[in-house]
Structure formats: C-alpha cells, structure tokens
Amino acid sequence: MPSAGEFGFLAATLGELLAALPVTLGLFLASIALGGVLAAGLTWVRLRGAPWIARLVRAYVFVFRGSPLLIQMFLVFYGLAQFPAVRHGMLWPVLRNPFACAVIALALCTAAYTAEIFRGALLAVPVQQIEAGRACGMSGWLLLRRIIAPLALRQALPAYSTEIVLMVKSTSLASLVTVWEVTGVALRIISTTYKTLEVFMCAAAIYLLLNFAILRLIAVLEYRLSPQLRAAAPAARRAGAAAP
C-alpha cells in the first residue's frame, strides 16, 4: 500500500502539472482557432478556387498529413532560424518565441486534417436540402447559415472531435522545443526524482480528464444540432418508464 510520503509526492506532482495546464490549454486553443480559420480558407479554395490553386492546396494537405508533426515543429522552430532573411525580418520576434512556433506548427498540421474533414462534410450535405432552401428564396450567406453550415457541421463533428483529441495530445510535443506545458514539466520532474511511472500516470490522468471534458462538450453540441436525437430522447424515456 502506498505510504504517506508517496501520496504526498503524487499530490505535489499533480500540483506542479496542474500549474502548467494553462500553457497546454493555450497551445491547444490557439492552434485549434488558427488551424480552423486556415482550414476554412483551404476548404473554400479546394472547392471554389481556380484549379491550379486547388492543386497547391492538395499538395499542402499531402505534405502536412504525410510528414510527422515532430519534424514539422523542429523545422519551424530550428529550421527557419537558419535563414538570415528570417532572423532580420519582421516575423522574427514571433518565430524566436518557442510558444508561438509550437502554435504555428500545430495549427499548420491540424489545418491540413481539418480542411479534409470540412470538405467531406460539405460534400455530404444533401443536394435536395440546398435546392429546397433555394426554392424558399434563400441564397448566398442565408443559405449557408441556415442550411449548409448546420448540416455540414453535424456531419463533421464525429471526425473533428477525433482531431481535437489528437491535438490535445499533440501539445505534448511542444516540450521538445522548450515549451513547459504538462509533459515538459513532467519530464523535468522525472529528471530530478527518477519516478517515471508515478509522474507519467499523473500527466496521463490530466490529459484523460481534459479530453473527457472536451468530448462531453462536443456531445452536447452534436445533440443540439441533431433534432432527431432530441425527438428520440423523450420517446426513449417513456419506453423505459413503461417497461416492467
């Protein structure tokens, strides 16, 4: 049975790891927001842009989906600094910041995956729904807001929730470019205490709880966007109450 000292060590470790949780959340939220905006633009270009631009977008998606995220992060953080034009350019105050480089690498990677998710969701919107909206006099932004966007978002949520969970876990790679998020702090604690199992179990518990909360929020959003689920819930409750 664990001793009082071991419980004290676990409590202290959890405290240190939780203190680094805002950095992990900052990486996650910034990369998801930036990647989502970029993915929306890539999706629009892929579906509506000129053919040669669409080919460039396909090449971008292929490169960032086909290469390891760790290498992408190293290229952004270490590789760009090798060019004098970058070191003396306007973006250098941003690119010399490890946190900003990690966000850029994460955003570029998730944008490639998210663009394909958005593209598939838009293509899955039934043509009959769009034609019905046009028959009711909708066009342009109104058709997008009332018909296309809600249906596409509902189609995209299952796959996008997986991408979001993967991005939460991918923030752990930022520790390799000197960003002290949860995993980075865990590695620092291990280097002084040599208690690998205990520290990593605490870190894993934090990631599990964070992903659980995110998935529950996505489930609520999916429920709100799915009228058939809301209509089926009362019937299921009545059937359960009527069962012997």
pLDDT in tens, 36-47: 999 999 999 988
- Output Rg (C-alpha) for the chain, integer angstroms: 23
Three-state DSSP class for residue 13: helix
Cα distance between residue 174 and residue 50, in whole Å: 36
pTM: 0.87
- Domains recognised in the chain with CATH numbers: 4-233 (1.10.3720.10)
At residue 1, the pLDDT reads 47
Cα distance between residue 123 and residue 118, in whole Å: 9
Cβ(156)–Cβ(121) below 8 Å: yes
Would the pLDDT of 76 be above 50?
yes
Q: In which residue are the tokens 């995956």 written?
A: 113
As a whole number, the mean pLDDT across the chain is 87
- pLDDT mean over 49-77: 92
C-alpha dihedral, 81 to 86 to 92 to 97, nearest 10°: -20
Closest CA to 32 of 227, 201, 217: 217
Higher model confidence: residue 166 or residue 128?
A: 166
Of 23-27, 58-62, 100-104, 190-194, give the lowest mean pLDDT range. Answer: 190-194
